[in-house]
Chain A
């Protein structure tokens, strides 16, 4: 037990830092920059039952303090991920979280079962919040009944702890959080991107071929902090927080809001070393603000 450790169901983490799904591929590219064993965990890019080719390009557009993306869940399918990617990540002394997506309950069930059988994956992140595909899960993420149904199915399909990744594109995120908690979720992962759009003035067309995309980066950080704060007061299960984290002070802010660990997404694109640097800086930031450990800071925001 050191001052950076944090404990979530199925995930005894050496530190609370993990790259966010979709922003780190399956780790190979970033393993050229630093030892992935330094990370608390790695959340893999979303896996679906079969290969998906994703959306046409352009798939990204820069915005003020962030970016829009509409990749469209491009991935080689769960079987190839298990054959080619999981063994690579398993070489490192870190926890592996598999993000799973689908268009039907059966597809979620299939993907969850497949990862369960590997014995190399430590938890599932249930993606019911991808805004960029017609059938990619968000239909499950915006309705409490559907959200709890898919959570039950995935819980039954595997023995792995399940973290449900929530969409911020809802009126009442607390009701979705409570619904998935009641359905057996072991934790929450929040927030996914906010749906947005940007129009290119010379052509009068959206920059992104999919027209709309998911907004990420520092622009959404206050939304994430607010939602984590609201949800953490209403549920008993832990939260992996994400949304615009760029440095160790941002991490502390998420811990104070009620997150037990955090994921870093868009910032990896600007600085491939960002997760490693945050892990180095976190002890000094805890010192600066008077915390002995990560555990000490969780949920300690003071909102009178």
Chain B
């Protein structure tokens, strides 16, 4: 169930180049959001809300963590919000990742697609899963949450220019990881395309983003064609998580 709530900003900090972590307080969202869901944030007077995925939830403190990257005017203004201010939020939005207890999960994230995988990994870990994460970033300055993912299990960092961790693309690393039951991937479309091609024999889930309107499934803005191209899925309502191979990237 989606509600419109006010979320108080508890902290905001820059964690990598143009990348901010914000901790928000709200009892309802922190209790009900599941890994893979997102918040639809109202920034200033902008006509459209900003969909931002959930990085973590802590019901004991009523907090929800988000991570966003400055990518335009809206996210730039969001980064200037101060502790104590309230954000007008719709959430939790969309469907989360299917969770398989006691399995081995390979998490594959790219850039600003990394954040939802943290809440996922933490939740799976609590369900007895073994976590392996492969996280790709542009370069050293864009890397974030390395320690957080290391606390969940084996972790590989990949940078395009090799300035930190392995050099290249996430697909260069996942080739060497064979022992897992499910993969979970979020990142730019070209990365998701390469990952789902590379792992087409394996079971997995992908989470995708698109310019969004209403966020609730009414406006038909954020659609993605199904595999056979004869229909569309709504990313905001049917997704943002899809079974790998279900939609055409």
Are A25 and B231 closer than 8 Å at their CB atoms? no
Question: Counting CB contacts under 8 A, is B156 at the interface?
Answer: no
A–B pairs, 26, beta carbons within 8 Å: A22-B219, A23-B214, A24-B218, A29-B216, A29-B217, A29-B218, A29-B237, A32-B216, A53-B232, A57-B222, A57-B223, A58-B221, A59-B220, A60-B212, A60-B219, A61-B211, A66-B47, A69-B219, A71-B221, A74-B232, A207-B211, A217-B47, A268-B218, A269-B47, A270-B42, A272-B216
Find out whether the CB atom of A71 lies under 8 angstroms from the CB atom of B219. Answer: yes
Sort A-B residue pairs by CB-CB distance and give the 7 closest, nearest first.
Answer: A25-B218, A60-B221, A58-B211, A269-B214, A29-B216, A29-B218, A59-B221
Nearest neighbor of B74 in chain A, beta-carbon distance = A62
- Cβ of A175 under 8 Å from chain B: no
Question: Could you tell me how many residues of chain B have their Cβ less than 8 Å away from some Cβ of chain A?
Answer: 29
| CB nearest neighbor in A for B230 | A53
Contacts of A22 in B (CB 8 A): 219
Docked CA distance A179–B220 (Å): 33
Residues of chain B within 8 A (CB-CB) of A53 are 225, 231-232
For residue B12, CB closer than 8 A to chain A, the reply is no
B68 CB to nearest chain A CB (Å): 16
Q: Mark B15-57, 1 if CB is under 8 A from A, else 0.
A: 0000000000000000000000000001000111100000000
- By a CB distance below 8 angstroms, the chain B residues around A69 are 213, 219, 221
- Contacts A53-B232, A268-B214 given; does A59 touch B223 at CB 8 Å: yes
Interface size on A, residues (CB 8 A): 35
CA distance A272 to B48 in the complex (A): 12
The DSSP consensus for interface residues of chain A is loop
Q: Mark B143-155, 1 if CB is under 8 A from A, else 0.
A: 0000000000000
Per the bound structure, the CA–CA distance linking A269 and B50 in Å amounts to 11
Docked-complex contact A57 and B211, CB < 8 angstroms: yes
For the residues of B in contact with A, the DSSP-based class is loop
Pairwise interchain contact A67-B47, C-beta atoms closer than 8 A: yes
Q: Which residues of chain B are within 8 angstroms of A266 by Cβ–Cβ distance?
A: 47
- Judging by beta carbons under 8 Å apart, are A58 and B47 in contact? no
Tell me the A residues contacting B by CB distance below 8 Å: 22-25, 28-30, 32-33, 45, 53-54, 57-63, 65-67, 69, 71, 74, 207, 217-218, 266, 268-273
Q: How far is the CB of B181 from chain A (nearest CB, A)?
A: 32
B219 pairs with A272, CB closer than 8 A: no
Is the pair B218, A60 in contact by a Cβ cutoff of 8 Å? no
